[in-house]
Amino acid sequence: MKKTLAVILVMILATLACQSPTLATPELTTTDSTVETAPADATSVDVPVSVNPAGQEALVTLFEKVSPGTVAIFTATGQGSGFVYDNQGHIVTNFHVVSQTEDKPVDVVEVRFPSGYMVYGSVIGIDLDSDIAVVKVEAPAEELKPLPLGDSSQLKVGQTVVAIGNPFGLENTMTVGIISALGRTLDSQHAATSSGVFFSAGDIIQTDAAINPGNSGGPLFNILGDVIGINRAIRTTSYTDTGEPLNSGIGFAISINIVKRVVPVLIETGKYDYPYLGISSSSSLNLAAVEALGLPQYTGAYITSVVKGGPADQAGIKAGTTPTNYPTLLAGGDLIIAIDGREVRVFDDLLAYLVSNKGPGDTVVLTVLRGSEKLDILVTLGSRP
């Protein structure tokens, strides 16, 4: 759990499904500008253009292969995207695409397939922590084209990615970009019952592929056509005249390995429990803070608070108690540098590992620096309250 005051960078994260379900058609008008067609015998001018025909053909093939498995989702208040998960009619999307209130979905949604087929669907499972929802539809077998799921643990920064969705109601739109970063965190839509502070969603993919209102819930593909994420949010300071957020080249997607853990459980039980440590940590510390805390190294997840009686508290994890020249920063806390032998450079690394690999009741070994000591501490994970 990460307190808001610990966030160093203030992000404007715009959920992307909050737009009118109707798409206005502009009125045709006559202007003074004209478009001249070239005469048949006109001499063409050779302009050097850098084109990779093989690369273009790969993108064309990818779109033709996977677009039949993407869908548009409409509610009474907005619209978004989704994709076919299996042959049983399960559609995966974002929770905020189908939400009625902060923690409840609408009863019925409309699902439109690229073929033109339309059907009503019911929301059968929601996950507020990672912003995932499952919709069940009864549709003909020929309409259900399940998309292959990739392995987000194999992703690398710089790899090409493709987003397909319905930005601004323009159904089946494809955009291309790269993976800009991995292991990001976002605030979840699940608040702790005791404090009201929102938990963090981890293992988030950052991309510069164009994502706009209506793309939410749609798939993010690798170049092979495997789904490697669900488009969720953008960071932006630009908005349309009606207040809708505009793409700024910083988009975020839920990693597919989380989806593969969560969705089968949502289909079976309607909900999913996330592992819980019961700690708060600063996402990053500047040099002055590191010096004030007297930390022996610059990387790691520094513990700012421990929930009394929580899993970390029971295992003996310590938060800082000694005042520093930073009013909200106390020295003497543990610095987590590894989890199950995997290096933790920032808190995001810790969270990404937990949500992608562990569940309530599992155990982890946290390697911490406590002053000059290096300790391995066994922690039994709980469930997020």
* DSSP code for 224: T
pLDDT value at residue 139? 97
pLDDT band at 27 (very low <50, low <70, confident <90, very high): very low
**Residue range 276-299, pLDDT digits in tens:** 999 999 767 889 999 999 999 999
Kindly list the structural domains of the chain, giving each domain's residue range(s) and its CATH number in brackets, ordered by start: 1-17+56-272 (2.40.10.120), 275-383 (2.30.42.10)
The dihedral over CA atoms of 264, 265, 268, 273, expressed in degrees to the nearest 10, equals -170
Burial 2-32 (b: 16+ CB within 10 A, else e): bbeebeeeeeeebbbbbbeeeeeeeeeeeee
Question: For the whole model, what pTM was predicted?
Answer: 0.79
Q: What is the CA radius of gyration of the chain?
A: 24
**Residue range 195-214, pLDDT digits in tens:** 667 777 888 999 999 998 88
With 0-12 / 13-18 / 19 or more C-beta atoms within 10 angstroms meaning exposed / middle / buried, residue 202 is buried
| Length of the chain in terms of residues written | 385
**Residue range 168-182, pLDDT digits in tens:** 889 999 999 999 999
What is the C-alpha to C-alpha distance for residues 271 and 268, in angstroms, rounded to an integer? Answer: 8
Chain-centre distance for alpha carbon 1: 17
Percent of the chain with pLDDT over 70: 82
Antiparallel, parallel or unpaired: β 132-137 and 118-127: antiparallel
pLDDT value at residue 212? 87
pLDDT value at residue 10? 32
Give CA separation, 364 vs 228, 265, 279, in Å.
Answer: 26, 22, 14
Percent of the chain with pLDDT over 90: 64
Residue pair 11/317 in contact by the 8 Å Cβ criterion = no
pLDDT band at 100 (very low <50, low <70, confident <90, very high): confident
Q: Count CB neighbours of 35 within 10 A.
A: 4
With 0-12 / 13-18 / 19 or more C-beta atoms within 10 angstroms meaning exposed / middle / buried, residue 54 is exposed
What is the C-alpha to C-alpha distance for residues 59 and 40, in angstroms, rounded to an integer? Answer: 32
State the maximum Cα–Cα separation within the chain, in Å, rounded to a whole number. 84
**Residue range 30-66, pLDDT digits in tens:** 233 333 333 334 444 444 445 566 678 999 999 999 9
pLDDT value at residue 202? 82
Residue pair 210/164 in contact by the 8 Å Cβ criterion = no
Residues classed as catalytic: 96, 131, 216
Q: Nearest-CA neighbor of 301 among 324, 314, 323, 319?
A: 319
**Residue range 110-142, pLDDT digits in tens:** 999 999 999 999 999 999 999 999 999 999 999
**Cβ contacts of residue 86 below 8 Å, gap of 6+?**
144, 146
Higher pLDDT among residues 6 and 100, named by residue:
100
Q: What is the mean pLDDT of the chain?
A: 84
At 56 the three-state DSSP class reads helix
SS (H, E, C) 94-132: CHHHHECCCCCECCEEEEECCCCCEEEEEEEEEECCCCE
**Residue range 367-385, pLDDT digits in tens:** 999 988 999 999 999 998 8
pLDDT value at residue 196? 65
What is the C-alpha to C-alpha distance for residues 178 and 286, in angstroms, rounded to an integer? Answer: 29
What's the whole-number mean pLDDT along residues 321-343? 93
Higher pLDDT among residues 17 and 268, named by residue:
268
